[in-house]
Amino acid sequence: MSITLNSPLDMHLHLRDGEMLSTVAPLSAKTFSGAIVMPNLVPPVDTKEALLAYKERIGLAIGDETFKPYMTLFFKPTYTKEFLESVRDELTAIKLYPAGITTNSEGGVAGFDVKELRPTLTAMSELNIPLCVHGETNGFVMDREAEFVSIYEMLATNFPKLKIIMEHITTKESVEALDRFENLYATITLHHLLITLDDVAGGMLQPHLFCKPIAKRPEDREALRKVAFEAHPKVMFGSDSAPHPQHAKESSGCAAGVFTAPIAIQVLTELFVEHSTIENLQAFLSGNAQSIYSNISVPNKRIILEKEPYIVPTKYGEVVPLYAGESINYTIKEIES
């Protein structure tokens, strides 16, 4: 029996740059219709010129694939309404990073002073530009996301017309916040639906499962699964697929990120089938995102899968994927665009 998915979207994706961009961008572009592309390059994408240049490099990397990169800017509190109006037609969202909290985020927000943030966030509200947030404090690693919920509440209350996306949520506290504020939404990754901290560090350390936010407790995973499997209208798929070369992952200073782009659709299909919710995968993987990001246009693409074993390659270039060398149960048999 085949399963067909229409215009799948990845609403949180890292494509990097240079040689890495050339390696990973075609993998997402092959199976997804589009993706929200993160701006935390070095230097960050924080000008119109940088955004247009990065979009051009992505286009060159993906070649003839039917795929739309939805571009983002790295948040700065000094953006003016005039600047944002000048880039609005090329911009899908702005990404806010707390300073130093994750990969290439040193230029992020050092404090959450409403007075300092108000000019940019007010302009974003007026122009209907969503704010995507990496929601972690610099506290104890298992508590960082739960501690950040109070900042989400502050932002949601002070900027009620601002659409706020809680990125790659990992905790039951974040799930609970979804229904308390009309303007809060969330992305959920594949790996956080699959693993807990025990999978990362409960036995032998698994560097290719280390990510930020770190995987949490079983009860947190269950909260994520509940809203994902029911395709809660305020959640959507965002892989946070974050490639690093093998030597950067398998080292004493292990880089944070799980690379799932090439197998995300296949494993999501398997997961939703296992939990008897396959009828909700289309909404989680595309429909909800199109409702939340109501201004995006989405290329047509049909992905047809069959239940047939597929051996995941051990590496793509220098990047080791999730389930490297292992067999997964679904194979993409046909792609129509």
* Residue of 295, 189, 294, 298 whose CA lies nearest to 235: 189
**Is 39's pLDDT higher than 90?**
yes
Mean pLDDT to the nearest integer, 8-21: 98
Helix orientation angle between 114-127 and 144-158, rounded to the nearest 10 degrees:
60
Range of the domain at 153: 2-336
**Is 107's pLDDT higher than 90?**
no
Active site residue 240: yes
**Is 17's pLDDT higher than 90?**
yes
Calculate ∠ Cα 337-270-226, nearest 5°: 105
Number of domains present in the structure of the chain: 1
The predicted pLDDT at position 334 comes to 98
State the Cα–Cα distance between residues 226 and 265, nearest whole angstrom: 19
* Residue of 30, 12, 24 whose CA lies nearest to 321: 24
Cα-based distances in Å from 124 to 151, 161, 195, 268, 290: 18, 9, 35, 33, 19
User: What CATH number does the domain containing 197 carry?
Assistant: 3.20.20.140
What is the three-state SS of 173-236? Answer: HHHHHHCCCCCEEEEECHHHHHCCHHHHHCCCCCHHHCCCCCCCCHHHHHHHHHHHHCCCCCEE
Whether pTM exceeds 0.95? yes
The predicted pLDDT at position 84 comes to 98
| Residue entry with tokens 């707390």 | 98
Query: Mind giving me the DSSP string for 121-178?
Result: HHHHHHHT--EEE----SS-TTTHHHHHHHHHHHHHHH-TTS-EEETT--SHHHHHHH
SS3 266: helix
Whether residue 321 has a cis bond before it, omega within 30° of 0? no
Please tell me which residue, 170 or 98, carries the higher pLDDT value.
170
Q: 156 and 164 in contact (C-beta within 8 Å)? A: yes
The predicted pLDDT at position 250 comes to 97
| Residue entry with tokens 């999730």 | 322
103 confidence band (pLDDT: 50, 70, 90): confident
**Is 90's pLDDT higher than 90?**
yes
Mean pLDDT to the nearest integer, 19-48: 97
State the Cα–Cα distance between residues 186 and 130, nearest whole angstrom: 12
The predicted pLDDT at position 100 comes to 81
Identified catalytic residue from 10, 46, 220, 240: 240
3-state class percentages of the chain: helix first, strand second, coil last, to nearest 5: 40, 20, 40
Q: 203 and 26 in contact (C-beta within 8 Å)? A: no
Sheet with 34-37: list strands edge to edge: 9-13, 34-37, 68-70
112 confidence band (pLDDT: 50, 70, 90): confident
**Is 70's pLDDT higher than 90?**
yes
- Report CA torsion sign: 319, 324, 328, 331: positive
- Report CA torsion sign: 297, 301, 307, 310: negative
**Is 111's pLDDT higher than 90?**
no
Pair of tokens at residue 157: 């209350």
| Residue entry with tokens 């005039």 | 82
Pair of tokens at residue 213: 């936010």
Q: 131 and 162 in contact (C-beta within 8 Å)? A: yes
Query: Mind giving me the DSSP string for 277-290?
Result: -GGGHHIIIIIHHH
Residues 6+ apart with CB under 8 A from 28: 10, 13, 15, 35, 67, 241, 261
